[in-house]
Amino acid sequence: MASQAICTATHCSFHRLNPSISRHSPGSHAKFKLSCPKGHMNRKFPQIYAESSSSISFNKEAYEADRLRLDAKARQAMAVQSQEENNENNDRSNWKWEIRKRIWDLMERENIAQFPRPVHHRIPNFVGAAAAAEMLASLQAFATAQIVKVNPDTPQKQVRYLTLSGGKKLLTPQPRLRTGFFSILDATMFPQGAINEACTSAGVAKYGKPIDLDAKLKVDLIVIGSVAVDPQTGARLGKGEGFAELEYGMLRYMGAIDDSTLIVTSVHDKQLVNDIPVEKLQIHDVPVDVICTPTQIVHTNTTIPKPQGIYWDRLSPEKLGQIKILRELKKCIEQETGQSLPCGPSEKLPPTAGHRSRRQG
């Protein structure tokens, strides 16, 4: 069997952990830690952990055109999905879409939204995003951080710039995890004068170095995008696709972060809300410790538990089908342990088809 060959070839060993999480019954969400000899993961996932494109010719225009096409397709499907969920009166997720729509509408109506517009079904860019980034950079946690994980969305571009220009390593996910996993980048990896390009998704694809699940690193600070966030509780809503939660879960799985790793978001002041019901949050929802706006820094002192890893029983077959690294990991764990991992209920997802790498030459 293919999965057996994968596990045997890489000599993977898996150790079951039993995280203590207050929001689910003991043992209901088994988490596994992966330990493989260095270098074997690249053989295991040859299409995901390909050689960095910085060593070959890279077609930025084709990359951007393909990315924008897929993003537009995904946003259109998300709009349909949110409308269908509202029509079905699904209380489990309706309240999230109501808050998101209220914030997106407000930002457009009051003209505090910035390119790309409209901001609906995006992590919205906003007037003052650079000022919010400067607020974030004034944090002691940012000053002392060596590796900073930052989301790839437009409003956090200045955070990525300040990370790289400050001599730090930038860890950023591939958009919607469609081309793989994470890439790491620092100022030694791109030509002098190319820092603005390096802060974009295309620049990361061009200059960044892909990492694998066996990478040994410690992330000192996580910066995450938001649609709405509650400064009183630290509860946060993203755009509704769940990739930020998956990214956090995989970093937790790797041992790159723990409960003490600070999670910061940068938003406009108008994105602050007080009606996110904490009791309705899911076990995988990621809270924030600090909120940075153009005018203030808010320490939430959140008591919401942070996710402890990958929750397989919350991953639908459709979501798993979109993310190759998780499919392969699930197969390998099941082969090694001889046990089937749980799977979440089926769901209708936006079409985030795999990004085809296009290069010149």
pTM: predicted TM-score of the whole model, two decimal places:
0.76
Q: Confidence class of residue 354 from pLDDT cuts 50, 70 and 90?
A: very low
| Per-residue pLDDT tens over the stretch 94-121 | 999 999 999 999 999 999 999 999 999 9
Q: Does residue 87 form part of some domain?
A: no
Find the CATH number of the domain harbouring 294: 3.40.50.10420
Q: Which two tokens stand for residue 24?
A: 């689910």
Q: Does residue 189 form part of some domain?
A: yes
- For residue 128, pLDDT over 90 is answered with yes
* Mean pLDDT to the nearest integer, 16-23: 33
Which three-class secondary structure state does DSSP give residue 185? strand
Residue 357 CB neighbour total at 10 angstroms: 16
- For residue 324, pLDDT over 80 is answered with yes
CA distance 100 to 246: 20
| Per-residue pLDDT tens over the stretch 237-259 | 999 988 899 999 999 989 999 99
- For residue 11, pLDDT over 60 is answered with no
- Total tally of structural domains belonging to the chain: 1
Q: Does residue 159 form part of some domain?
A: yes
CA distances from 235 to 145, 257, 327 (A): 24, 19, 29
**What pLDDT, on a 0 to 100 scale, did the predictor assign at position 49?**
39
* Mean pLDDT to the nearest integer, 65-78: 58
Asked if 187 and 167 count as a contact pair (C-beta separation under 8 A), the reply is: yes
Nearest to 112 by CA among 314, 269, 290, 292: 269
Sign of CA dihedral 77, 83, 89, 94: positive
Q: Does residue 161 form part of some domain?
A: yes
Q: Does residue 182 form part of some domain?
A: yes
CA distances from 146 to 28, 142, 222 (A): 35, 8, 11
Q: Confidence class of residue 328 from pLDDT cuts 50, 70 and 90?
A: confident
* Mean pLDDT to the nearest integer, 326-345: 90
What residue numbers bound the domain in which 208 lies? 53-62+123-299
Q: Does residue 20 form part of some domain?
A: no
* Mean pLDDT to the nearest integer, 116-130: 96
Residue 110 CB neighbour total at 10 angstroms: 11
- For residue 85, pLDDT over 70 is answered with no
**What pLDDT, on a 0 to 100 scale, did the predictor assign at position 76?**
59
Mean residue pLDDT across the chain = 79
**What pLDDT, on a 0 to 100 scale, did the predictor assign at position 296?**
98
| Per-residue pLDDT tens over the stretch 52-65 | 444 446 666 665 56
- For residue 3, pLDDT over 60 is answered with no
Q: Does residue 283 form part of some domain?
A: yes
* Mean pLDDT to the nearest integer, 150-168: 97
Better pLDDT: 15 or 338: 338
Q: Does residue 320 form part of some domain?
A: no
